[in-house]
Amino acid sequence: MTLHVAVIGSGPAGIYTAEALVKQSSEPVAVDVIERLPTPYGLVRYGVAPDHTSIKSIANYLRKVLELPEVRFLGGVTLGRDVSVEDLLGLYDAVVYCTGAMVDRRLGIPGEDLPGSVAATDFVNWYCGHPDVDPGRFTLDTSEVAVIGVGNVAVDVVRMLAKAADELRSTDVPHEALQRLGESEVKAIHMVGRRGPEHAKFTLKELRELGELANADVCVRPDEAAVLGGDFPRQVQGNIKVVREWAAREPVGRPRRLDVRFWLRPVEILGTERVEGLKLERTRLAEDGRVVGTGQFETLPVGMVLRSVGYQSVPLPGVPFSEKTMTVPNEAGRVRDREYVAGWLKRGPTGVIGTNKSDAAETVRTLLADLDGGARAGSGGIDTLLAERGVRPVSYDDWLAIEAAEAELARSLDRGERVKLVGLEAMLRAFRP
């Protein structure tokens, strides 16, 4: 008998889950990967920085999973809008939630909602061409920008702000965003960490790239680069070394300047109509390891603040959710009878793409052990349900038509391999002319 499983979300977690189901199951399986967007791959398409083409090419691996005969892609179908958990449990033997973490964490400081104070999630979505964000959303009409946070997303955002538009021409950045980046008035970027270089979350390879920017001088203050103690993991030692090297560098007059700052926490985003500055407080570590303020303040004269302090998941209607961990509570991936979870929704918004592979494999092991021999005859039938509700899913072939249209757009603009189509309508036109 065939085991029918619905996987919700087609990011790395969803696709690795589908792959693990096919590989691990001893009985035949049929997996429907249900995705709210018309396009698969989640943050690989709408998160990974456009200039990181080698990482983006992981999509070539993920596509092979979607092309397996046991796996079907159903795009443009949202759990909670087009189908409910109840519907799915009536149609499938099991459901695996893999909807990731789509929104930003908040800073909780005054001025956070002023125009010009922007969540990294929105800015990333913008330069990645996510259909949730208007392509005209950002005008980089300010000379100084602060990026709060020293994780890898902050590093991506800084690189995108620092590079010249010409350096991004061959990437898939939507054309309107590329034009806006070309008109950018940004001259100074301040990347601000609330602790020291030894605590920063960025990884060495990504950090080094900032030091190789052709369009920006990287500056660090020697006092902020100083690190006490020395027994750090290799990655951290590498980060500290790079930061120290930068502290010894002199700017050489590149068009933009990146100041990497440490031991400063944001206390207020200043301005009345829009952002006019960022007030920071110098910090230190208390004996219990907490970051505490020292009562010394400084203000950066920035017109834009990009808050890159992490992502978080949102609850799915009808699915348990912990407001404390902002994840779906689970035991090795099991949520409740026949309901499972994988990826960022399961363990929180940390880890690289590959982390989701072992994570999904764990969830699938739990699922298959629970359902051992439990597949029911006559599962499936979501097509009828969607048709009754007037929802026409985007098929894998439809997605290939979107890809072809993006390649054609790139050719017509004399840019790289693909240029993102922006907006749902443009994508739907690619296969429903």
Ligand X SMILES: Cc1cc2nc3c(=O)[nH]c(=O)nc-3n(C[C@H](O)[C@H](O)[C@H](O)COP(=O)(O)OP(=O)(O)OC[C@H]3O[C@@H](n4cnc5c(N)ncnc54)[C@H](O)[C@@H]3O)c2cc1C
Site string for ligand X, 37-76 (x = CB under 6 A): x----xx---xx---x--x---------------------
The single residue among 5, 7, 8, 161 that binds ligand X, judged by CB under 6 A, is 8
CB nearer to ligand X: give 143 or 366: 366
Tell me which of ligand NAP, ligand X, none is bound by residue 247, counting a contact when its beta carbon lies within the kind-specific cut-off of 5 to 8 angstroms: none
CB nearer to ligand NAP: give 246 or 311: 311
The answer to the question of residue 216 lying near ligand NAP (CB under 6 A) is no
CB nearer to ligand NAP: give 278 or 371: 278
| Site of tokens 């899913």 | 393
The single residue among 4, 5, 7, 9 that binds ligand X, judged by CB under 6 A, is 9
To ligand NAP, the closest distance from the beta carbon of 315 in angstroms equals 20
The answer to the question of residue 365 lying near ligand NAP (CB under 6 A) is no
CB nearer to ligand X: give 13 or 107: 13
The answer to the question of residue 332 lying near ligand X (CB under 6 A) is no
The single residue among 4, 130, 195, 338 that binds ligand NAP, judged by CB under 6 A, is 195
In Å, how far are 41, 57, 93 from 177, measured between CA atoms?
Answer: 21, 22, 43
The answer to the question of residue 150 lying near ligand NAP (CB under 6 A) is yes
Burial class (CB in 10 A: 0-12, 13-18, 19+), 66: buried
The answer to the question of residue 260 lying near ligand NAP (CB under 6 A) is no
To ligand NAP, the closest distance from the beta carbon of 114 in angstroms equals 17
Applying the rule CB under 6 A, the residues between 390 and 429 that interact with ligand NAP are none
The single residue among 45, 56, 190, 194 that binds ligand NAP, judged by CB under 6 A, is 194
Q: DSSP label at 394?
A: B
- Residue 242 is encoded by which pair of tokens? 């790079």
Tell me which of ligand X, ligand NAP, none is bound by residue 193, counting a contact when its beta carbon lies within the kind-specific cut-off of 5 to 8 angstroms: ligand NAP
The answer to the question of residue 156 lying near ligand NAP (CB under 6 A) is yes
To ligand NAP, the closest distance from the beta carbon of 28 in angstroms equals 35
Q: Which residue is nearest to ligand NAP (CB)?
A: 151
What residues line the site for ligand X (CB under 6 A)?
A: 8-14, 34-37, 42-43, 47-48, 52, 55, 78-80, 98-100, 102, 124, 153, 156, 311, 316, 343-344, 351-353, 356
What residues line the site for ligand NAP (CB under 6 A)?
A: 107, 148-154, 156, 193-195, 199, 201, 206, 265-266, 308-311, 349-352
